[in-house]
Structure 1
Amino acid sequence: MSEVIEVLQPRGGTATFAELRSAVSGRALRKALTDGAIRRIAKGVYAMPPAADPLAAARAQGGIVSHLSAAVLHGFSVLDLPDKPHITVPRGQHRRLSSVDCELHWADDVPSDGRLTGKLRTVLDCARTLPFAAGLTVADSALRLAAFDRSQLLIAAAELGGPGCRRARRVAAAADARAESALESALRALLIEAGIDGFEAQVVVRDGGFSARIDLGHPELLIALEADSFAHHGTRRALTRDCRRHVNLTIRGWRLLRFSWEDVMFDPGWVVDAIRQAMAGSPGHHNPRETAVASRGRRVLRQL
């Protein structure tokens, strides 16, 4: 998902030129137009191209909308929109000729009168078939929207069998209703996969008249991780607010590491390395490089 799409999605898939340019560069806008990610629908108005209707695809195939397509219809956050509708049909049924291309899945328990899989089933389907970060994003969003509670998710995941069941149980165990965005879920997934512990979602910092919530905070080391998107940080007012917030956290001892969509999605190794360096350099933690420099400095002073 490009930064342009990230701006369009919260606005229902359309935005004016002014709205886009307040959040993204002209170069990014031109590239999105050239790549076909967006199109000009009127003077100064841009939109995402229309996607195939998943409900029509389900009717054509004699199945139901499922997996990532069902997640979108349920209103859950996703890391990437599906390229084509995901449809589940009864096991043994052959693909039907249709003008709508789709991704078919087969299952034994496909209701004949259903339009799409239920919310819990949808999350489990995504969890067992998608990469960890993508599956966690859907699960976090479902919990945040109170589609079901975490205990229901854990029990349902434990009862799963077959391909992807272990992956689904891992997602269920990590799912957290406190995650407020898809990017935040993806950032937390990086920490989990890297084995980095100690960070909590939506940590609240209060001091006198100041109050702030941190996407992912390490209360012991006072390290704050922020998942920044253009949708929430792309205006002059947002920039001013974020600068003051950054200063207020810094003078209270917090170190703030801010990561963009491009950082988390396309350079995860750098993100993980930066977080580990910050943790290693925190007060009370052994930093081999700093220790070596300090040791050399003491030797020089003794020689003088």
Structure 2
Amino acid sequence: MLRARCVADAARLSPQTVFSHVTAAALLGLWVPPRIEVVHVTQTFKTKSQRDTIVRHHRPLSDDDITQIDGVLVTGLTRTVIDCITSLPVEWALAVADSAMRLRLPPRRRDQPHDRDEVEALREEWVRYLAQLGPMRGCRQARDILRRADPGSESPGESRLRCVALAAGLPAPILQMPVHTAEGLFHADFGWALGPPHDRTFACVEFDGRGKYEDPSEQSREEARQSAIIAAGHRLERFSGEDLLNEVRHLILPRLFALVPELVEAREPVVHLNPRPPRRRNRRL
């Protein structure tokens, strides 16, 4: 749907127009908000044309910043990441950065985490690119996002939930955290290892995506998995997409704090990872 819309818009726009920001992120296959009402483009020239369905950005682009998808010009992955993490709401900014890392780095099995040297090299590449663009709105948020982006996240819900924990000042959790139980090895979406290495308690966080357990057999396996983790003396808290809705999201932190009370007192909230009041443009994305 979005690709067809961009192809149609490209036919009416200048040939030098490049689709960018959250539009480019969606075309590249990154995790973006589900309802995108406008198309974002970047132009190096001014135009008097105004359309409510197109948001125009005016910044220079190099040839290395541009690629093609379905015959239309689109900002490349690095430029798209930077444009998104400086402009999107913070939780979705982290989701975009996480998914972009997953796209750039070789895929891994869940029990084989990404090589940290590769992750850090990619992080530094994006930090350098951000610095080269010079001062712009959202730079501080972008730097905080880049420091915490991780390809171990397996869904936008996991990324957004992790962002809530990080913004509150909880330590960076372990993604796809291995937990040994009497029933075998399981992996929590993310969590924290508490206590001394020889006698650790694992505080596990699971994010249940929409339709994850529509299959009764899958639901039964998940219940057995949860029971095994708790029987091994560990903690587990489950969240879903409904918990991220504005009406109830204030309940997330009390549940996380109850899961890891040992970490609450020493936490230092991260100002630029806390949601900013939305601007009019951000409401449309």
State the TM-score bracket (shorter-chain normalisation): 0.7 to 0.9
Whole-angstrom distance in 1 between the partners of 2:211 and 2:161: 17
Please say if 1:153 is aligned against 2:106: no
Q: Does residue 185 of structure 1 match 2:151? A: no
Tell me if 1:275 matches 2:256.
yes
**Aligned counterpart, 1:216:** 190
- CA contact 2:31–2:99 (8 Å) conserved in 1: yes
Query: Contact 1:54 / 1:87 at 8 angstroms: preserved in 2?
Result: no
Q: Which amino acid aligns with 1:248?
A: A
Distance change >3 Å, CA 262–CA 209, structure 1 → 2: closer
Cα distance in 2 between the residues matched to 1:138 and 1:59? 28
- 1: CA distance between counterparts of 2:10 and 2:214? 38
After superposition, the Cα gap between the structure-2 partners of 1:113 and 1:154, relative to the gap in structure 1 and judged at 3 Å, is: closer
161-170 vs 62-71, which deviates more?
161-170
- 1:250 Cα offset (Å): 0.6
TM-score (norm 1): 0.69
Q: Does 1:240 align with 2:220?
A: yes
Is 2:82 the counterpart of 1:82?
A: no
**Correspondent of 1:102 among 54, 57, 76:** 54
Residue in structure 1 matching 2:7, options 52, 55, 59: 55
Find the partner of 2:243 among 246, 260, 263: 263
Counterpart code for 1:84: V
> Kindly tell me: are residues 246 and 183 of structure 1, through their superposed partners in 2, closer, same or farther at Cα, counting changes over 3 Å?
same
User: Secondary structure at the residue paired with 1:129?
Assistant: coil
CA contact (8 A) 2:98 2:151 kept: yes
**Structure 2 vs 1, CA of residues 210 and 166 (structure 1 numbering), >3 Å: closer, same or farther?**
same
Of the structure 1 ranges 248-257 and 79-88, higher mean CA displacement relative to structure 2 is found in 79-88
**2:61 aligned counterpart, secondary structure:** coil
Does residue 121 in structure 1 map to residue 79 in structure 2? yes
Structure 1 stretches of at least 4 aligned residues deviating more than 6 Å after TM superposition: none
Of structures 1 and 2, the larger Rg is shown by 1
Query: Equivalent of 1:141, from 75, 91, 99?
Result: 99
Query: How far did 1:60 drift?
Result: 2.4
Q: Secondary structure at 1:219's aligned position in 2?
A: strand
CA distance in 2, matches of 1:193, 1:130: 16
Could you say what secondary structure the match of 1:222 adopts?
strand
**Distance in 2 (alpha carbons) for counterparts of 1:277 and 1:165:** 33
Give the distance between the partners of 1:182 and 1:279, measured in 2 at CA: 23
Which structure exhibits the higher relative contact order, with contacts defined as CA atoms closer than 8 Å and separated by 6 or more residues?
Answer: 2
Change (3 A) 1:243 1:119: same
What is the Cα deviation at residue 106 of structure 1? 1.4
Structure 2 vs 1, CA of residues 160 and 140 (structure 1 numbering), >3 Å: closer, same or farther? Answer: same
Count of residue correspondences: 233
Aligned residue identity for 1:124 = I
**Alpha-carbon deviation of 1:166?**
1.7
CA distance in 2, matches of 1:158, 1:170: 13
Give the AA of the match of 1:173.
R
For 2:177, the equivalent position in structure 1 comes to 203
**Percent identity between the aligned chains?**
28
- Structure 1 residues 64 and 110, CA gap change in structure 2 (3 angstroms): farther
Q: Please list the CA deviations of residues 118-137 of structure 1 after superposition, one character each: whole Å capped at 9, or x if unmatched.
A: 00100100000011111110
Shift of 1:113: 8.6
Which residues of structure 1 form unaligned runs of 5+?
1-49, 287-304
Q: Is contact 1:77-1:138 (8 Å) kept?
A: yes
**Does the 8 Å contact 1:123/1:139 carry over to 2?**
yes
User: Paired residue for 2:23?
Assistant: 69
What amino acid is the match of 1:94? T
Give the Cα separation in 1 of the matches to 2:232 and 2:182. 11
CA gap 1:113/1:157 in 2 versus in 1, 3 angstroms: closer
Give CA deviations for 1:53-108 in whole Å, capped at 9, x if unaligned.
Answer: 123324423211101110111111123342121111124x114366x822221112
Normalized against structure 2, the TM-score is what? Answer: 0.74
Alignment gaps of 5+ in structure 2: 106-118, 195-200, 266-285
Distance 1:84 1:198 in 2: 34
Deviation at 1:272, TM superposition (A): 0.7
**Structure 2: how far apart are the matches of 1:101 and 1:186?**
27
